Structure 1
Amino acid sequence: MQVMDFQIGELVTTKVRTGIYIGEVYELYGSRLVVKILAVIKHPEQGDLHHPQDPDVPLFHERRALAYTEKTTVLLKDVERYNGEVPDYKQSLVKAAQQELLRLDKLHRWAAKSINNLQGLIETY
């Protein structure tokens, strides 16, 4: 797909770091698009992007979602057309943050059970 395949004003989904957003094509140039953010699909992950899921990094970043109508430059490979209804930004932001929290809670519970199992195994080894 080329930049020329998109039109200014067209709705798209785009990945920005670890977040996913619904936006509107605002500007076209080269192999990039400028997208105006309208809703959040997936909230960005917390921490260091170069050391995912590592709590022991020198600086554990708080990652906020992009703001409503914020413009961001994205690579063409990270953009897809969006044909659905655009949800309310605030509601989509809260929903995405809650989904991320549920994902982390599940990971936390899995880690706790894994630790318990491994401690038992070590005793039998």
Structure 2
Amino acid sequence: MSSFQIGDRVIAEYKTGVYFGEVVEMSNTMKAAVRILAVKEHPTQGDLHNPMDPSVAFFHQRRALSFQEIALMPISTIRPYAGAIPEYRESLERALLAQISKLSEMEAWARRSLQELTQLQKEYFPNSN
């Protein structure tokens, strides 16, 4: 049995995004309806079954849930939250910019790693083409 009550403030995961919200309905012991109040982490882009693969047949674009949107979420993805909830638009921008920054850093890391690996390849196999 869930310990959540209608009106409880929570942090909840939905698909690949994480949100601040409030419980508006307990549908059963496994799921709760949560009203979205702010975005903590923007959803991940791409195919979840093939992460980090840009050449999948359908590369999913995932939008964040909207302000006041209600989503049915598994209880296991919800936890209590007692802190301040940021304003939706500011939280969405912050989450989006954080995701962009993270991917930009990964891109820079990948480019540098490829440079180093290419250098190692030349050292390991100096007589190869």
| TM-score (norm. length: structure 2) | 0.93
Q: What does residue range 1-125 of structure 1 map to in structure 2 within 5 Å?
A: 2-3=1-2, 5-28=3-26, 29-125=28-124
- Root mean square deviation, CA, Å: 0.8
TM-aligned CA deviation for residue 30 of structure 1:
2.5
| TM-score (norm. length: structure 1) | 0.95
Q: Deviating runs (4+, > 3 A) in structure 1? A: none
Residue number in structure 1 paired with 2:127: none
Q: Unaligned 5+ residue runs, structure 1?
A: none
Listed one character per residue, the Cα deviations across residues 58-114 of structure 1 (whole Å, up to 9, x for unaligned) are 111111000111111111110000101111000000000000001001100110011
Q: Point out the structure with max Rg over C-alpha.
A: 2
Identity of matched residues, %: 40
In structure 2, what is the Cα distance between the partners aligned to 1:37 and 1:124? 54
